Structure 1
Amino acid sequence: MAIYEVRPNAQSYGHEIGVLLIACSNPFPPGDVGNAWTYNFPVLYETVYDVTIDSLINEGDRSMGGSVIAAAKKLRDYGVKAITSDCGYMLLFQKEVAAALDIPVMLSSLLQLPFIASTLAPHASIGVICANRQRLVPSLIEEAYPVQSRPLHIAGLEDAPAFRHAILDEKGALDSEAVEREVVERAVKLVDEHPEIGAILLECSNLPPYAAAVQHATGRHVFDFITMINYMQAAGRRTPFTGGY
């Protein structure tokens, strides 16, 4: 029989990944980072109430770093093995949160850019679909992808009516079929204009539900928050191999 000891401050146990949520009122369908059914392992959520869509995406405000660190430490104390977020623009806080914790931190899907680039042929580029193209400025991208060995071709969804209604304007309802059409249209247009694109990255945590449709329409590998989270979870929970020889 094992002996289990109380973990200080923990209210529940067994969570693999901690997710920092920004304060928003978006619906989270299955596949979204904010829906626990997306995962094959337990996750734990913590909202950072002073980080909003407006302050993060529109203003790029870094002043809430202390609140983000406090929320991340709370999740760590609950026993999670790694911490992520539900917005790619949380990359603003990646370095300071990672420096403050002793477990892996992956606050943005954009952190996958160097890995994606390393897998592609020398002539290939990367397509990125994001929530707001105007706010995905070069200085922010450089925090995830400082040595840009592959060009990026970026399309935003800030002018896509269904996406904007549900996500950026937080109107409370999401038409998933309409949003899927908008995301696929952006992806197909990117590939048509830049056929050398070898892979596509979905920046926004609300976009993984449409990754399969994007892949079907473009024939490219599609990366997003969920590919990153699953990769990190697998690395932190290795199991012995069994089978015949």
Structure 2
Amino acid sequence: MENGYSSVRNLGDIKKKYTVPDLRYIAGHSIGIIAVDLKYPKLPGNVANATTYDFPVLYKKVEFKIEQLFEGDPALKETIINAAKELEKEGVRAVVGACGFFANFQQDVADALEIPAFLSSMVQLPMIKIGLKKGRKIGIITASGGNITEKMLRDMGVAPEDVYVEDIGGLDGFKTIRYEYEYLDNESIAETVVGAAEKLVREHDDVGAILLECSDIPPYAYMVQDAVNLPVFDFITMINWAHYATTQKPYYGYF
């Protein structure tokens, strides 16, 4: 056991004694997710739906207006840091957010924890960029295009000229999520997200990959990829990456 990690590799080893640095009432969740208290149906694939994952996750609810998060309201900083610290105390190995605009507090939270924080799907931008042919750009589909600022992009590791931003937040097809309806117009949302991706590649022939900023739209990632035939990144690609990096397992097979 090092750096607070304790792993069980062979439960058949009955003679082994296991110790952990801090005893807790629950265990085994690698990823902690900070989720804003937004009430509308959450489909599998949504960051806030636990069946999305093939591994345990732990949620921590925070309560404030989503517009405050979009705008990066400094008044939220303490609340978000405290939620991240609570997840750390519960034993998670990495903390993520359930909205791309947690990017506004990425460095604040990373600096406050001893474990990694990957608060926004947009932390993947530099990795996507480095994998693309020179001159290719990333199409970002977002719930609030006006709040993706030059500062945010640079804080995430890319320049404004590296991306195209397609805003779906004000479209009718997205309103059942954006304005917290009690029902989800799944067909309309799917058409809106796919249509945004098709618009990006139609208007910009140098788009090399798509990034879905919003934590609500990974359920439609496969539809986007089917429509535009490009790599599609979202919150789930990031969360899976963080999980496997912090929960390595031995390989079995033959040679």
In the alignment, which residue of structure 2 is the partner of 1:11?
Answer: 25
In the alignment, which residue of structure 1 is the partner of 2:50?
Answer: 36
Show structure 1 runs of 5+ residues with no match.
none
Which whole-Å CA distance do the structure 1 matches of 2:236 and 2:33 have between them? 12
In the alignment, which residue of structure 1 is the partner of 2:212?
Answer: 202
Give the match's secondary structure for 2:59. Answer: strand
Which whole-Å CA distance do the structure 2 matches of 1:186 and 1:162 have between them? 11
| CA deviation profile, 1:98-118 (whole Å, cap 9, x unmatched) | 001011100000000000000
Judge conservation of contact 2:150–2:159 (CA < 8 Å) in 1. Answer: no
Q: Structure 1 residues 149, 157: closer, same or farther in 2, change over 3 A?
A: closer
Judge conservation of contact 1:162–1:174 (CA < 8 Å) in 2. Answer: no
Q: 1:123 aligns with which of 135, 148, 162?
A: 135
User: How far off its partner does 1:181 sit?
Assistant: 0.4
Taking structure 1 as the reference length, what is the TM-score of the superposition? Answer: 0.93
CA RMSD of aligned residues (A): 1.7
Aligned AA (1:67): T
Q: Structure 1 residues 173, 7: closer, same or farther in 2, change over 3 A?
A: farther
Q: Are 1:184 and 2:194 matched, yes or no?
A: yes
Which whole-Å CA distance do the structure 1 matches of 2:240 and 2:160 have between them? 25
Larger-gyration structure (1/2): 2
Q: Structure 1 residues 130, 103: closer, same or farther in 2, change over 3 A?
A: same
| CA deviation profile, 1:32-67 (whole Å, cap 9, x unmatched) | 000000000000000112x3212112x431222111
Taking structure 2 as the reference length, what is the TM-score of the superposition? Answer: 0.89
Q: Structure 1 residues 171, 96: closer, same or farther in 2, change over 3 A?
A: same
Q: Are 1:105 and 2:117 matched, yes or no?
A: yes
In the alignment, which residue of structure 2 is the partner of 1:174?
Answer: 184
Q: How many residues align?
A: 241
Judge conservation of contact 1:7–1:78 (CA < 8 Å) in 2. Answer: no
Q: 1:158 aligns with which of 147, 161, 169?
A: 169
Which whole-Å CA distance do the structure 2 matches of 1:67 and 1:7 have between them? 26
In the alignment, which residue of structure 2 is the partner of 1:135?
Answer: 147
Give the match's secondary structure for 2:74. Answer: coil
Judge conservation of contact 1:126–1:150 (CA < 8 Å) in 2. Answer: no
Which whole-Å CA distance do the structure 1 matches of 2:90 and 2:72 have between them? 29
Judge conservation of contact 1:28–1:206 (CA < 8 Å) in 2. Answer: yes
| CA deviation profile, 1:168-219 (whole Å, cap 9, x unmatched) | 2112221111100000001001001111111000000001000000000000
| CA deviation profile, 1:118-143 (whole Å, cap 9, x unmatched) | 00000211100000111112222221
Which whole-Å CA distance do the structure 1 matches of 2:59 and 2:142 have between them? 23
Aligned AA (2:61): T
Q: What percentage of residue pairs aligned between the two structures are identical?
A: 40
Aligned AA (1:137): T
Give the match's secondary structure for 1:64. Answer: helix
Which whole-Å CA distance do the structure 1 matches of 2:145 and 2:23 have between them? 40
Which whole-Å CA distance do the structure 2 matches of 1:163 and 1:198 have between them? 25
Give the match's secondary structure for 1:63. Answer: helix
Q: 2:249 aligns with which of 236, 239, 242?
A: 239
User: How far off its partner does 1:150 sit?
Assistant: 6.0
User: How far off its partner does 1:149 sit?
Assistant: 8.9
